[in-house]
Amino acid sequence: MQRILVLAIKTGSLLALLCASLAAQAQNASVQLIEDIPVNYIYAAVLGTGFYDLNGKRITVVRMPFSSKRFEAKPEGSQWRILAPVAVGYENMGEDNDWEMWVPNEVLTLSVIPGAEYFYQPSEKVLVKPFLQLGLGRDYSRHESTNLGIAGVRVLADLYEGRLWQFQLGNSLQWAGEKIQHREQYSSFGLYELGLNFKRQLPVKVLNRQLNLGSYVLWQHFFNQKNSSYPLVKPVNIDNLLQLGFTLGLSRPYSILGIGFETVSIGFSIGENGHAISLGTGFPF
């Protein structure tokens, strides 16, 4: 059984391929350690920042999750957000469970996947966010480039919002794929996510912002996994992950170096082929 150690950094459950976004607000990104399994661009992106066996080398992948703030565009009143995910993979200097695993020795991979996210609010309590991203990944160890693509939709609904308590339901349906340029090698998969979030306001202020404490549960289901190299074998033997998370947040974002932060979280994930510990930025929808 492979072991997956996850440190997740998330603000939306976006099927991001080794990515992040371009300007002010953080998006979802995960951090995971996968042992004895080769992981391609797509799975490393979805599982997130962490340590991977890629092309026979143990590398560290670091995602920088930025995105632009919402802005209005034509037709009048429609809201969008620009995405430009970036991730760097490098060979580290240390061994497992060593702080030197985070110290870069040689940069091996780089990926950029720009795109856009649209905000549609059919009612006061429901927010729908379809998105599309297309980009490139570069493997400097093999001198190969890979075409990357992700598309999907996320939905966040407020089930209840009172003076002290807030309950939210989130779900997403997403697809991700990659194809190595000048070769007939590709990988793709679908992902469905369903989550429930509970949040309570606290009688405490930090940075002139009200604190809140919460917890969430998240189910991730991978399906239709394909790999041209091994058509009868899934690239990564992960079908389902279940995560229980706890959050601490502010009533409104606080900006550090132009990046808005609102919530921090810790989560514990389990699956039929792995388990995880996660650190992140809240409910991923």
Most trustworthy range by pLDDT among 134-138, 160-164, 212-216: 212-216
Helix (H, G, I), strand (E, B) or coil at 100: helix
The answer to the question of residue 141 being in a domain is yes
Q: Write down how long the chain is.
A: 285
The answer to the question of residue 192 being in a domain is yes
Contact call for residues 111 and 45 (beta carbons, < 8 A): yes
Kindly report the pTM of this predicted structure. Answer: 0.74
The answer to the question of residue 41 being in a domain is yes
The answer to the question of residue 178 being in a domain is yes
Q: Dihedral sign, CA of 27, 28, 31, 35? A: negative
The answer to the question of residue 285 being in a domain is no
Note the pLDDT of residue 240.
84
CB under 8 A, 24+ apart: contacts of 124-127: 125/157, 125/158, 125/159, 125/161, 126/155, 126/156, 126/157, 126/158, 127/155, 127/156, 127/157
Helix (H, G, I), strand (E, B) or coil at 130: strand
Contact call for residues 251 and 263 (beta carbons, < 8 A): no
Pairing of the two strands 50-54 and 32-38: parallel
Return the CATH number at 207. Answer: 2.40.128
C-alpha distance from residue 33 to each of 37, 56, 87 (Å) = 10, 15, 16
Average pLDDT for 212-218? 94
Note the pLDDT of residue 25.
36
CA angle at residue 12 from 6 to 16, to 5 degrees?
A: 70
Residue 33: name the closest of 13, 18, 15, 48 by CA: 48
The answer to the question of residue 214 being in a domain is yes
- Would you call 148 exposed, middle or buried from its count of C-beta atoms within 10 A (0-12, 13-18, 19+)? buried
- Domain of 100 in residue numbering reads as 4-280
Residue 115: name the closest of 68, 72, 75 by CA: 68
Contact call for residues 127 and 156 (beta carbons, < 8 A): yes
Note the pLDDT of residue 40.
57
What is the spatial distance between Cα 68 and Cα 83, in angstroms, rounded to a whole number?
A: 7
Omega before 75 within 30 of 0, i.e. cis: yes
Contact call for residues 279 and 6 (beta carbons, < 8 A): no
pLDDT band at 98 (very low <50, low <70, confident <90, very high): low
Tally the domains of the chain.
1
The answer to the question of residue 261 being in a domain is yes
Tens digits of residue pLDDT in 13-70: 222 333 333 233 334 434 444 443 445 566 666 656 666 655 566 677 777 767 777 7
- Would you call 118 exposed, middle or buried from its count of C-beta atoms within 10 A (0-12, 13-18, 19+)? middle
The answer to the question of residue 147 being in a domain is yes
